[in-house]
A = this chain, B = another copy of it.
Amino acid sequence: MDATPVWFMRQAGRYMAEYRELRKKHSILELAKTPALACEVTLQPIRRLPIDAAILFADILLPVEPLGLKLRFAPGPSILNPVRTDQDVARLRDKTAAADLGFVYDAVRLIRRELAGKVPLIGFAGAPYTVASYMVEGGPSKNYQRVKAMMTDRPDLWDKLMRKVRQVTAAYLQAQAAAGAQALQLFDSWIGDLSPEQYRRFVRPHSAWVLKEISQCGVPVISFGTGTNGFLEDFAEAGGDVVGVDWRIDLDAARKRLGKRPVQGNLDPVLLFSNKKALKSAVKNVVDRNGGRKGHIFNLGHGILPQTPVENVEAVADWVHEMTSR
């Protein structure tokens, strides 16, 4: 079959009863840090849904702990000792921190064994900007005031911070690939709040560095960002084999701007709450805008939301396969 491949960001998550059952007994960090549990959660959607890839269950903030920060989920992530000063940045560990994330690499090995070739396994990490933003803000932020202040008023300190984050990010992804991840995705979930100028000056060099480092891993790399519309060409130039876009852009417009680069996306996750007819028409809109071209991985524009009906996720995967089978 020649159909467009489908997977879903956050396909291992709260919308599945199996996942909620496990979460009653274990915290997010317990799931992520126990290879057998991370493996189980990673496999849950594979057992249930007709999807074409597994994605490692982990959290983009896992690397901040070995860097020296205190991470809590309550229930959203927060960092108890955020990075604000020269001393804070100087204290962060170097890239050897990635070696402390052995439970992730063990999970990768276990999942590969359990998958037994059924579908490939995607590893991932947060992109330097998104991870550094959390480290500076300490948690989700409305206006990203602190992180933008560091960029603008202390570009030297920002640069030091980003160099540390990018090194651990690359080492972390390289180790996932070495353990058996068959593709890697870099998530830049927060860059959509930057101006194109801020992205180009303060973010792109560091993302490009990571993407270049991991291009040596011998596996395809997906570079995903939300709200990249204002600097999509710049974002694509930073690297990655596939560019992931959110739902705020027409897929045909994205493909046109990206030339021959394969694209991943881009259904609005909120549409998964719609009735079947409206949802199918929205899926068809994405498929049609791809215009029968190859080089499309069907996905959402962001992660599956917690209350999403699982049967709708299943239907979307089926429809994409039907609509694109030749």
Contacts and interface: CB of A to CB of B under 8 A. Distances in A.
Interface of A: 143-145, 148-149, 152-153, 192-198, 227, 229-231, 247-250, 253, 268-271, 273-275, 278-279, 282, 285, 301, 305
24 contacts: A143-B270, A145-B273, A145-B305, A148-B270, A148-B273, A149-B274, A152-B271, A153-B278, A193-B248, A195-B247, A195-B248, A195-B250, A195-B268, A196-B250, A197-B250, A197-B285, A198-B268, A227-B248, A229-B229, A229-B230, A229-B249, A230-B249, A230-B250, A230-B253
A198 B269 CA distance: 13
B227 A270 contact: no
A278 B158 CA distance: 14
Contacts of A247: 195
A188 to B, nearest CB: 14
A323 to B, nearest CB: 17
Contacts of A253: 196, 230
The A interface is mostly helix, strand or loop, or mixed, namely: helix
**Which A-B residue pairs are the 5 nearest by beta carbons?**
A229-B229, A152-B274, A230-B249, A230-B248, A152-B278
Contact of A153 (B143, B275, B285): B275
A285 B201 CA distance: 13
A194 B271 CA distance: 11
B230 A270 contact: no
Given A153-B275, A274-B153, A249 B148 contact: no
A258 to B, nearest CB: 14
B230 A268 contact: no
Given A227-B248, A229-B229, A229-B230, A268 B148 contact: yes
A208 to B, nearest CB: 19
A238 to B, nearest CB: 17
A78 to B, nearest CB: 17
A281 to B, nearest CB: 9
Contacts of A249: 196, 229-230
B305 A143 contact: yes
A153 B152 CA distance: 44
A74 to B, nearest CB: 17
Which of A148, A196, A253 has the largest count of B CB atoms less than 10 A from its CB?
Answer: A196
Nearest to A267: B195
Nearest to A302: B143
A271 B49 CA distance: 45
A196 B289 CA distance: 12
A210 to B, nearest CB: 23
B250 A144 contact: no
